[in-house]
């Protein structure tokens, strides 16, 4: 691949040197990796952890704020932050206290406490939707909201954008290819045809959006306000408003998933851009890193949900068999931590600190692109910023994907890791948290400057 303007041979030379450096400086991680292969599939507790740029997993000993420390004693500035799971820093003090408080007062009872009521009130005030439910993950939230949307509308087809990310919900694992919806590549064990009730269209394409909705079979459009997983893709001016207008016109619901874009504003893009969704989803950071997801709905949706549930229960002998919910959803620990996070961590002051740092980081990326005359670009949204291997920020998932250069990205990430900096894997996204400092941002830019300089110094690096 040559989209980056840098030769594959130079990238391979650069990466080989960094792999050797990693193995030399991390003997304890190497030893743990060898040991882990005897009991853990792929040597990790969750197989994604084997897909980083490192030659073996980097084993972490502890984390706090914007820092984590590996088993070999190295300190890292963390711009990945658990891929948004710890967007407000590792183990914020109020959340750590909440965990300790709840530890001796019951972790799960399958009954509500006052924390649940307070969280519902805080969520309604913050995001503008009156009614809330709590799940274990944002994937669960999206899955359950999709069930509700199908029940409410009597329609089966889900509409998503090509390159979307909404967790591991089966129905979203589709792509758009030459105007046709196809299965996403790489799916394991897929047993049924996802394209039967799922449709994918390009982001920022109003004509395709209206054509898809006009077929009259779409229960809902499930979307992020900006795409964040295939590389960052921002909406064209007015596009999200068109999503709301056209879903209403054709009787479909609008589901906004802000699990990643919650980094934009204390009320998400939903409040910032006045998106007015029927359903709203967040997961990952909502309880400060403790597993938890939420979804909110309008008063109209709540009424229609009640009617749908009554209808579904007519031929049922018991309760709870709706196809939604898990035993550990809304457990006491998650609720206590979410309350602490909403009240004391996920504050306007936190955003006021994070957003200028992300702007400083994005400007730093741009300065390096100019310095080295690279045909790259920078996309930023709130506390999130990313450099991409294309001259102009992409407008669609397909364009973002076309700019990928996996080998180059992984080589640059490994260089940063070897010098005490972590950014999000699989693309070049960074997050700033309330514990990130200007010095941290400047160190990332200086280290990336050094990396690009060394890479381009390899003979034949430029194409």
Task: Let me know whether 113 and 15 are in one domain.
Answer: no
Give the pLDDT score at 315. Answer: 77
User: Is the pLDDT assigned to residue 181 strictly greater than 80?
Assistant: yes
Shared-domain flag, residues 56 and 159:
no
**What confidence score (pLDDT) does residue 58 get?**
98
List strand residue ranges (DSSP E) for 212-251, in order.
218-223
In degrees and rounded to multiples of 5, residue 407 shows phi and psi of -65, -40
462 within domain boundaries: no
For residue 162, how far is the Cα from the chain centroid? 16
The pLDDT score that the predictor gives to residue 150 is: 99
Q: What is the mean pLDDT of the chain?
A: 97
Residue 3 resides in a domain: no
How many domains does the chain contain in total?
Answer: 2
Tell whether 337 and 427 lie within a shared domain.
no
Q: How many angstroms from the chain centroid is the CA of residue 237?
A: 22
The whole-number pLDDT of residue 369 equals 98
Residue 76 above 80 pLDDT? yes
Residues 210 and 336 in one domain: yes
| 379 and 315 fall within a common domain | no
Domain boundary among 345, 365, 398: 345
Q: Are residues 326 and 428 in the same domain?
A: no
pLDDT tens digits along 53-63: 999 999 999 99
Q: Distance (Å, rounded) from C-alpha 88 to C-alpha 354?
A: 9
Percent of the chain residues topping a pLDDT of 70: 98
Same domain, 56 and 82: yes
Q: What is the pLDDT of residues 236-272, one digit of tens each?
A: 999 999 999 999 999 999 999 999 999 999 999 999 9
Same domain, 123 and 237: yes
In a shared domain, residues 134 and 155? yes
Read off the pLDDT of residues 417-432 as tens digits, 9 standing for 90 and up.
Answer: 999 999 999 999 999 9
What is the pLDDT confidence band of residue 1, given thresholds at 50, 70 and 90? very low
Q: Is residue 36 part of a domain?
A: yes
**Which residues 6+ apart lie within 8 Å of 440 measured at CB?**
66, 77, 79
Question: Are residue 234 and residue 273 in the same domain, yes or no?
Answer: yes
Establish if 40 belongs to a structural domain.
yes
Same domain, residue pair 155 and 23: no
CA atoms within 13 A on the CB side of 117: 4
Q: What is the pLDDT of residues 108-117, one digit of tens each?
A: 999 999 999 9
Q: What is the pLDDT of residue 321?
A: 79
Flag whether 283 is in a domain.
yes
CATH number at residue 143: 3.40.640.10
| Percentage of the chain modeled with pLDDT above 90 | 96
Quick check: 163 pLDDT over 80? yes
Q: What is the pLDDT of residue 3?
A: 59
Q: What is the rounded average pLDDT of the residues 447-458?
A: 98
The mean per-residue pLDDT over the stretch 222-245 comes to 98
Q: Would you state the pLDDT for residue 45?
A: 98
- Average of per-residue pLDDT across 119-134: 99
Domain membership flag for residue 132? yes
Last residue of a domain, one of 345, 365, 393: 345
Domain extent, residue 22, equals 8-88+348-456
Q: What is the dihedral sign for C-alpha 310, 316, 322, 326? A: positive
Q: Which of residues 288, 323, 345 is at a domain's end?
A: 345
What mean pLDDT comes out for the span 186-211? 98
- Judge whether 209 lies within some domain: yes
> What does the pLDDT look like over 337-371, one tens digit per residue?
999 999 999 999 999 999 999 999 999 999 999 99
Strands, E assignment, 3-156? 60-64, 67-70, 75-78, 131-135
What CA–CA distances, in Å, run from 208 to 73, 160, 162, 402?
Answer: 52, 11, 11, 20
Indicate the angle between helix axes 332-340 and 93-103, nearest 10 degrees: 150
Mean pLDDT of 148-177: 98
Residue 1, domain member (yes or no) = no
357/452 same-domain check = yes
From edge to edge, which strands make up the β-sheet containing 60-64? 60-64, 67-70, 75-78, 421-422
CATH of residue 59: 3.90.1150.10
Q: Is the pLDDT of residue 2 over 70?
A: no
Q: β-strands 384-388, 429-431: how paired?
A: antiparallel
81 — phi, psi (to 5°)?
55, 50
């Amino acid at each position: 691949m040559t989209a980056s303007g840098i030769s594959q041979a130079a990238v391979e030379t650069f990466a080989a040197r960094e792999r050797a450096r990693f193995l030399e400086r991390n003997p304890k991680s190497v030893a743990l990796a060898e040991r882990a292969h005897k009991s853990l599939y792929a040597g990790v507790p969750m197989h994604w952890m084997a897909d980083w740029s490192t030659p073996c997993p980097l084993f972490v000993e502890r984390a706090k704020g914007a820092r984590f420390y590996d088993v070999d004693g190295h300190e890292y500035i963390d711009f990945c932050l658990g891929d948004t799971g710890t967007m407000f820093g590792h183990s914020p003090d109020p959340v750590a206290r909440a965990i300790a408080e709840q530890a001796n007062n019951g972790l799960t009872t399958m009954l509500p406490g006052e924390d649940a009521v307070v969280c519902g009130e805080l969520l309604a005030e913050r995001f503008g939707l009156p009614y809330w439910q709590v799940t274990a993950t944002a994937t669960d939230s999206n899955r359950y909201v999709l069930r509700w949307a199908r029940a409410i509308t009597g329609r089966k087809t889900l509409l998503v954008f090509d390159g979307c990310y909404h967790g591991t919900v089966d129905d979203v694992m589709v792509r758009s290819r030459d105007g046709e919806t196809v299965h996403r590549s790489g799916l394991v064990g897929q047993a049924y045809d996802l394209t039967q009730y799922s449709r994918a269209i390009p982001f920022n394409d109003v004509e395709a959006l209206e054509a898809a909705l006009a077929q009259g079979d779409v229960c809902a459009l499930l979307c992020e306000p900006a795409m964040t997983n295939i590389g960052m893709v921002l909406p064209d001016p007015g596009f999200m408003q068109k999503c709301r207008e056209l879903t209403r016109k054709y009787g479909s619901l609008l589901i906004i998933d802000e699990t990643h874009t919650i980094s934009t504003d204390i009320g998400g893009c939903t409040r910032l851009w006045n998106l007015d969704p029927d359903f709203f989803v967040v997961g990952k950071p909502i309880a400060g890193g403790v597993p938890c997801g939420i979804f909110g709905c309008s008063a109209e949706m709540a009424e229609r949900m009640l009617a749908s549930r009554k209808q579904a229960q007519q031929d049922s002998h018991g309760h709870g068999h709706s196809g939604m919910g898990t035993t550990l959803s809304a457990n006491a620990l998650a609720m206590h931590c979410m309350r602490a996070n909403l009240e004391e961590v996920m504050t306007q002051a936190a955003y006021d600190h994070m957003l200028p740092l992300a702007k400083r980081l994005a400007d730093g990326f741009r300065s390096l692109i100019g310095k080295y005359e690279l045909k790259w670009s920078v996309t930023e949204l709130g506390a999130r910023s990313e450099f991409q291997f294309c001259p102009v920020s992409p407008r669609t998932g397909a364009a973002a994907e076309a700019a990928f250069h996996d080998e180059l990205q992984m080589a640059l990430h490994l260089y940063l890791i070897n010098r005490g900096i972590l950014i999000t894997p699989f693309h070049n996204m960074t997050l700033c948290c309330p514990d990130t400092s200007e010095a941290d941002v400047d160190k990332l830019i200086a280290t990336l400057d050094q990396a690009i300089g060394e890479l381009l110094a390899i003979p034949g690096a430029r194409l």
